[in-house]
Amino acid sequence: MDYFGYVAAFLTTICWIPQVIHTYRTRELAGISLVMYIILVSGLICWVIYGALMNALPILIANTITVILAASILALKIRSVIHAKRLKA
Amino acid sequence: MDYFGYVAAFLTTICWIPQVIHTYRTRELAGISLVMYIILVSGLICWVIYGALMNALPILIANTITVILAASILALKIRSVIHAKRLKA
């Protein structure tokens, strides 16, 4: 049974790598929801804290990797939003 | 300590709602990675199976909601990829 847990954690962690590559390569950010990534990164930070407090290494490691990947997309999205606002100003 | 776990699960589940709304409203799919969503939905299905096998209701409920939301984005992305291929043909 644990097998599904490990596969699930592995897949829902590595899935962010193709999105990071896709976003950095295409710079297509219009389809990315800023609100989603703000809530997601906040949630992932909570998972990292929870994993640390519970001494649950799999949760700590998986979510630390994911928060770095998701935060890199969020950073690009914030930059594009700021850039778009400057153009309008 | 459990507090962080519940907040984390809540945030990483509801974060998909703004992305679904954003995607359905803007139909901007170029920035969405098809590979990411295929891996993500597969991983979320594994979490649902894991939650069912372990009788872990929070994991089962959170990931069932998330897989429905993520799969709806994946469906739109697949449709847009098929549509783009037909235009090229």
ipTM of predicted assembly, 2 dp: 0.89
With contacts defined as CB-CB under 8 Å, which chain A residues touch B53?
1, 4
Q: Would you say A37 and B16 are in contact if contact means Cβ atoms under 8 Å apart?
A: no
Tell me whether A58 touches chain B (CB under 8 Å).
Answer: no
Chain B residues with CB inside 8 Å of A81's CB?
none
Q: Could you give the CA distance from residue A87 to residue B16 in angstroms, rounded to a whole number? A: 29
- Asked if residue A19 has pLDDT above 70, the reply is yes
pLDDT digits 0-9 by tens, A25-63: 999 999 999 999 999 999 999 999 999 999 988 889 999
Asked if A60 contacts A7 with a C-beta cutoff of 8 angstroms, the reply is no
Residue A1 clears pLDDT 80, i.e. is over it: no
pLDDT band at A89 (very low <50, low <70, confident <90, very high): confident
Question: Tens digit of pLDDT for each residue in B59-84?
Answer: 899 999 999 999 999 999 999 999 98
What φ, ψ does residue B54 adopt, rounded to 5°? -90, 0
What is the percent of chain A where pLDDT is above 90? 81
Give A44's contacts in chain B (Cβ within 8 Å): 8, 12
CB contact under 8 A, A11 and B42: yes
DSSP symbol at A26 = H
Architecture of domain A2-88: Up-down Bundle (1.20)
What amino acid occupies position A25?
R
CA A57 – CA A52 distance, rounded (Å): 7
Best A27, A46, A76 member to test B by mutation, with max B CBs in 10 Å, is A46
**Extents of the domains making up chain A:** 2-88
pLDDT digits (tens, 9 = 90+) for B1-27: 678 889 999 999 999 999 999 999 999
